[in-house]
């Protein structure tokens, strides 16, 4: 077996007196597909930075195999110092990398390379950073929340691109579908330590729940044993003047062990303040249209929203999702068509901008406006108690908002929104920066919410769990309603958002080809192409023989201890032959398809 490309062992790190990592480990083998999961604030991003060499641990060992290439995508990419996005991506290439791949990836991600980094949106900066780390096709890709600020087409494109790459992956993401589709092993960072499951994220949650249940059983047994021992100490034979000191020491060890056991952080307690019941009709749009200059985002769209509906609104960035949401809630008027709103509607909005709050404002002030009480469903609650519902410690009450993490800001916005009485919840990208457990509880709260939900999201799993209908953009301002969640929409229309767009592009390209002169049909294979077609099968056979030879050497279990240099040479030879074989097979297949097309 080849040695690990990257190894972290016994990693310790303390921030501000609080241990963040205690004995954490990570091992990345060639071709690994790992996800790193854990609660917000558990240290996932920090462990990934240590793996990338961007942060130094207090104690522990980081070993990177000689010659291994690695690229790291941070949560907040820094593009400063570059004139345009192309120069930023090219700067990430190593000698020998293909420069044209930088342009290809930028175009695939909706950029042309001329964009000024200082004027990029969060989503555009994320796309440029993705192109930079993907372009070299490194041995290891470390990706921290790669889907943040991406729309559905970009997420599905990225998913297919990562499936194609031979790079080993370590992913941090809150997107369940993305993790389930890409990973084959899971690293759980829990209470400063790591545990590894040799299965992808799809199996993780059941495994985690079983682990925590067993841990709780063991804790309960320990508690009962401590109670029994304390009873012996207090109520033993009264005439005994000298206690059994060995038993006393054992009791002290039990109590110490119990006190040092660190329980899992509590769950967010989501309770929504309910307003009076709205009318049966929430909104009815009839043949509404809306344009911004020459860009028509809504073209004769008709939809009816009734009390209790859970509508998901999906489409690419710029398709008009927020515009449609604003019209359905009466915050914007269409250019044509009619919109009718219901009666007694109490609207609460949680938008993707997370509101604009003074960064110097304290957490307590942001929640209560300076009071020590928060009113929920007509009942006052102390703000400290409400903070605990959202996993904020009492000592954070006077913390300025500027020092909160992304996940903490997300929880704060949820707390502010849910405290307001409502019968219609408008959620625009509510899942950004929330951990998986909070997403679970938000989903459960929405399932029990008696009002109406209008949801804009690029999280396919969350859409499946929450929505009863999906309103999807078909491009060119056209929108259609599909029953069920995102997966149901895909089943009904036969494709997802990206696949639909790709099909239209292919159709347009085919029409253009048919209309153009049939010069391609008169083309013939060049001498170089013919020669490659004739010689590639022999080259493929030679590479297959090399792979078999290297594999036979590595199958010797004593090779590494007997001759480390030969082991390393065989490992590198196997890796190179595998890459060369894949390239040769791809080239032969491409040429063979071209030959069939020209001869046909």
Q: Are residues 383 and 493 in the same domain?
A: yes
Residue 294 predicted with pLDDT over 60: yes
Q: Are residues 150 and 288 in the same domain?
A: no
Cβ atoms within 10 Å, residue 543: 20
For residue 541, give its domain range. Answer: 520-599
Q: Are residues 489 and 527 in the same domain?
A: no
Instruction: Check residue 24 and give its pLDDT.
Output: 95
User: Average of pLDDT values for 564-579?
Assistant: 83
Helices of type H across 405-496: 406-418, 436-448, 460-466, 486-493
Q: Are residues 416 and 524 in the same domain?
A: no
Q: Are residues 127 and 170 in the same domain?
A: yes
Rounded Cα–Cα distance for residues 7 and 2 (Å): 13
Confidence band of 576 (pLDDT split at 50, 70, 90): confident
The last residue of one of the domains, among 474, 504, 534, is: 504
- Which residue from 464, 471, 472, 433 is spatially nearest to 446, judged by alpha carbons? 464
Q: Are residues 530 and 595 in the same domain?
A: yes
Instruction: Check residue 226 and give its pLDDT.
Output: 65
Residues 6+ apart with CB under 8 A from 494: none
Q: Give residue 262's region: left, alpha or beta (phi > 0; psi -120 to 50).
A: beta
Q: Residue 55: beta bridge partners?
A: none
Rounded Cα–Cα distance for residues 395 and 381 (Å): 18
Confidence band of 505 (pLDDT split at 50, 70, 90): very low
Rounded Cα–Cα distance for residues 578 and 581 (Å): 5
Least confident of 69-73, 167-171, 526-530: 526-530
Rounded Cα–Cα distance for residues 167 and 584 (Å): 18
Helices of type H across 347-459: 363-368, 383-389, 406-418, 436-448
394 secondary structure, DSSP code: G
Q: Are residues 489 and 528 in the same domain?
A: no
Q: Are residues 319 and 456 in the same domain?
A: yes
398 secondary structure, DSSP code: T
CA atoms within 13 A on the CB side of 63: 13
Rounded Cα–Cα distance for residues 310 and 275 (Å): 17
Q: Are residues 150 and 97 in the same domain?
A: yes
359 secondary structure, DSSP code: T
**Phi and psi torsions of 74, nearest 5°:** -80, 170
Number of domains in the chain: 3
The vertex-437 CA angle with 433 and 441, nearest 5°, equals 100
> Domain holding 407: CATH number?
3.40.50.300
Span 144-160, pLDDT tens digits: 999 988 888 899 999 99
The last residue of one of the domains, among 150, 184, 206, is: 206
The last residue of one of the domains, among 450, 471, 504, is: 504
**Packing angle of the helix pair 152-164, 497-515 (nearest 10 deg):** 80
The vertex-555 CA angle with 553 and 556, nearest 5°, equals 75
Confidence band of 287 (pLDDT split at 50, 70, 90): very high
Q: Residue 63: beta bridge partners?
A: 7
Query: Does residue 532 lie within any of the structural domains?
Result: yes
CA atoms within 13 A on the CB side of 7: 10
Query: Does residue 540 lie within any of the structural domains?
Result: yes
Residue 251 predicted with pLDDT over 60: no
Query: Does residue 193 lie within any of the structural domains?
Result: yes
Confidence band of 391 (pLDDT split at 50, 70, 90): confident
Query: Does residue 271 lie within any of the structural domains?
Result: no
Highest mean pLDDT among 99-108, 356-365, 399-408, 506-515: 99-108
> Domain holding 565: CATH number?
1.10.287.380
Cβ atoms within 10 Å, residue 559: 15
Residue 11 predicted with pLDDT over 70: yes
Cβ atoms within 10 Å, residue 321: 24
User: Average of pLDDT values for 268-297?
Assistant: 84
Mean confidence (pLDDT) of the chain: 83
Cβ atoms within 10 Å, residue 546: 17
Instruction: Check residue 283 and give its pLDDT.
Output: 93
Query: Does residue 242 lie within any of the structural domains?
Result: no
Question: For the chain, what is the total number of helices (H) and then of strands (E)?
Answer: 20, 20
Q: Are residues 403 and 294 in the same domain?
A: yes
Rounded Cα–Cα distance for residues 442 and 431 (Å): 9
Lookup result for tokens 């004769």:
300
Q: Give residue 485's region: left, alpha or beta (phi > 0; psi -120 to 50).
A: beta
Query: Does residue 515 lie within any of the structural domains?
Result: no
Instruction: Check residue 146 and give its pLDDT.
Output: 94
Q: Are residues 433 and 562 in the same domain?
A: no
Cβ atoms within 10 Å, residue 220: 10
Query: Does residue 243 lie within any of the structural domains?
Result: no
Helices of type H across 516-526: 519-522
Query: Does residue 185 lie within any of the structural domains?
Result: yes
Instruction: Check residue 517 and give its pLDDT.
Output: 44
Q: Is 253 exposed, middle or buried (0-12, 13-18, 19+ CB in 10 A)?
A: exposed
Q: Residue 478: beta bridge partners?
A: 475
Q: Are residues 469 and 540 in the same domain?
A: no
Above pLDDT 70, what percent of the chain? 84
Residues 6+ apart with CB under 8 A from 318: 295, 297
- Which residue from 231, 259, 263 is spatially nearest to 247, judged by alpha carbons? 231
């Amino acid at each position: 077996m080849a040695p690990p490309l990257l190894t972290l062992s016994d990693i310790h790190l303390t921030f501000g007196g609080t241990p963040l990592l205690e004995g954490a480990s990570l091992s990345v083998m060639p071709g690994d597909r790992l996800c790193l999961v854990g609660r917000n604030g558990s240290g996932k991003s920090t462990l990934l930075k240590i793996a990338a060499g961007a942060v130094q641990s207090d104690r522990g060992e980081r070993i990177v195999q000689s010659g291994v290439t690695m690229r790291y995508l941070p949560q907040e990419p820094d593009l400063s110092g570059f004139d345009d996005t192309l120069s930023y991506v090219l700067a990430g290439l190593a000698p020998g990398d293909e420069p044209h791949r930088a342009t290809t990836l930028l175009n695939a991600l909706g950029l042309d390379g001329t964009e000024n980094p200082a004027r990029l949106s969060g989503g555009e900066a994320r796309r440029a950073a993705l192109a930079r780390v993907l372009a070299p096709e490194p041995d290891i890709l470390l990706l921290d929340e790669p889907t943040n600020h991406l729309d559905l087409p970009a997420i599905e494109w990225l998913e297919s691109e990562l499936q194609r790459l031979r790079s080993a992956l370590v992913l941090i993401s809150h997107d369940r579908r993305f993790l389930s589709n890409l990973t084959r092993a899971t690293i759980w960072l829990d209470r400063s330590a790591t545990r590894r499951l040799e299965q992808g994220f799809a199996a993780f949650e059941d495994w985690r729940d079983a682990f925590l249940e067993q841990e709780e059983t063991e804790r309960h047994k320990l508690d009962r044993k401590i109670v029994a021992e304390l009873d012996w100490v207090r109520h033993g034979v009264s005439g005994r003047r000298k206690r059994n000191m060995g038993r006393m020491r054992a009791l002290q060890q039990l109590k110490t062990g119990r006190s040092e056991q660190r329980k899992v952080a509590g769950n967010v307690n989501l309770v929504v303040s309910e307003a009076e019941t709205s009318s049966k009709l929430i909104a009815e749009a009839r043949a509404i249209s809306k344009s911004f200059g020459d860009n028509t985002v809504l073209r004769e769209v008709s939809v009816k929203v009734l009390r209790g509906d859970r509508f998901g609104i999906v489409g690419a960035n710029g398709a008009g999702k927020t515009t449609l949401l604003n019209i359905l809630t009466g915050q914007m008027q269409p250019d044509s068509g009619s919109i009718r709103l219901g009666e007694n509607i109490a609207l609460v909005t949680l938008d993707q901008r997370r509101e604009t709050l003074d960064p110097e404002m304290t957490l307590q002030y942001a929640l209560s406006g300076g009071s020590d009480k928060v009113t929920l469903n007509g009942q006052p609650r102390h703000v400290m108690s409400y903070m605990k519902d959202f996993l904020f410690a009492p000592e954070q009450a006077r913390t300025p908002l500027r020092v909160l993490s992304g996940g903490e800001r997300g929880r704060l916005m949820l707390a502010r929104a849910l405290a307001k009485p409502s019968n219609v919840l408008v959620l625009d990208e509510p899942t950004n920066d929330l951990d998986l457990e909070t997403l679970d509880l938000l989903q459960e709260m929405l399932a029990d919410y008696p009002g109406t939900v209008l949801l804009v999201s690029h999280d396919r799993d969350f859409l499946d769990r929450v929505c009863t209908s999906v309103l999807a953009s078909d491009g060119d301002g056209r929108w259609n309603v599909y029953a069920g969640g995102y997966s149901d929409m895909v089943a009904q229309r036969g494709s997802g958002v990206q696949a639909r767009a790709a099909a239209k592009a292919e159709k347009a390209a085919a029409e253009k080809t048919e209309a153009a002169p049939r010069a391609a049909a008169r083309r013939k294979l060049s001498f170089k192409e013919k020669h490659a077609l004739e010689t590639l099968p022999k080259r493929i056979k030679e590479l297959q023989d090399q792979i078999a030879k290297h594999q036979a050497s590595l199958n010797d279990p004593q090779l590494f201890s007997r001759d480390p240099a030969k082991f390393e040479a065989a490992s590198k030879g196997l890796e190179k032959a595998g890459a060369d074989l894949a390239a040769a097979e791809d080239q032969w297949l491409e040429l063979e398809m071209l030959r069939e097309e020209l001869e046909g």
